[in-house]
Amino acid sequence: MKDRYAVVGNPIVQSLSPRIHTAFADQVGDPIEYDKLLVEPGEFENFAREFFAGGGKGLNVTMPFKLDARDFASVLTERARAAGAVNTLALQGDGSILGDNTDGAGLVRDITCNLGWPVRGKRVLLLGAGGAVRGVLLPLMAEAPASIHIANRTPARAEVLAADFAQAELSASGFADATGPFDLVINGTAASLSGAVPALPRGALAPGCCFYDMVYGARPTVAMQWARAQGAEAADGLGMLVEQAAEAFVVFRGCRPDTAPVLAALREQIRA
């Protein structure tokens, strides 16, 4: 009997997780059963309890249940505590449920390994101050950048986020005051989904800047197009999706799959 896993969210029909995790499992010769399941708001705790009681081994959790997953977990990893949210729940040998957040690790691995962009010693600008940015801060800081500046449409939210991590190299402002120049810019806002670009001042992007948009699609996002027009190299977040899934697969199965063929296949799929 195959071990059972699933991704849960609302909505969930768009999720690529079943394809990604099934490909990982087939690749390492360790077949699993993996579903995508719709849960109604307010029902996550009951669903998760029944899932694990019924023999489920692990869950990937997407919006809007990452805070519910954090509260459901028996124990949290350091990166989950820092993120304040959980996207991976895994049954442990003692019956406890581990809560982890693999988003930041996925982002860093895509940037440093797949794209070959250095983070160490670089001036980093994070756009946005929501859960997506909070989730990647700890792994980014572990890469030892020269500095990290958080810019948000509402400056106070960026300032609160920077203060929460209490790190001397973190600073914060509104978009207009993110003067830079920055070597690496990571867009953690949803602006690209509405065809908008955060209003950064002229000169915010340093020569040779790398621009990463967490959003992905069949074509370059509006933010990526804007960055390339400023002379930056730009990439979308599809690699982050695959790499955070690989990190979750390590939590689930204890081995790391090869992400390159899976990422290439997904890229071809979304372009079709």
Task: Determine if residue 214 is labeled as part of a ligand binding site.
Answer: yes
Structural element, H or E, at residue 43 = none
Q: Which of 110, 117, 135 is nearest to 259 (CA)?
A: 110
- Bin 114: left if φ > 0, else alpha if -120 < ψ < 50, else beta: alpha
Task: Determine if residue 42 is labeled as part of a ligand binding site.
Answer: no
Task: Determine if residue 156 is labeled as part of a ligand binding site.
Answer: yes
- Helices 17-27 and 238-253: angle between axes, nearest 10 degrees: 50
Task: Determine if residue 103 is labeled as part of a ligand binding site.
Answer: yes
Is residue 179 within 8 A of residue 202, CB to CB? The reply is no
| Separation of alpha carbons 132 and 244, rounded Å | 13
Task: Determine if residue 147 is labeled as part of a ligand binding site.
Answer: no
Examine the residue annotation and report whether 122 is marked as an active-site residue of this protein: no
| Separation of alpha carbons 164 and 158, rounded Å | 10
Task: Determine if residue 74 is labeled as part of a ligand binding site.
Answer: no
Catalytic residue among 36, 57, 66, 122: 66
Task: Determine if residue 155 is labeled as part of a ligand binding site.
Answer: yes
Task: Determine if residue 194 is labeled as part of a ligand binding site.
Answer: no
**How many C-beta neighbours within 10 Å does residue 158 have?**
27
| Amino acid (1-letter code) at residue 2 | K
Helices H / strands E in the chain, number of each: 10, 12
Task: Determine if residue 69 is labeled as part of a ligand binding site.
Answer: no
Task: Determine if residue 154 is labeled as part of a ligand binding site.
Answer: yes
Can you tell me which residue has the tokens 């509405």? 194
What the block records as the tokens of 159 is 């300032």
Task: Determine if residue 157 is labeled as part of a ligand binding site.
Answer: yes
Binding-site positions for NADP(+): 78, 128-132, 152-157, 214, 237
Instruction: Show which residues are catalytic.
Output: 66
Binding-site positions: 15-17, 62, 78, 87, 103, 128-132, 152-157, 214, 216, 237, 244
Binding-site positions for shikimate: 15-17, 62, 87, 103, 216, 244
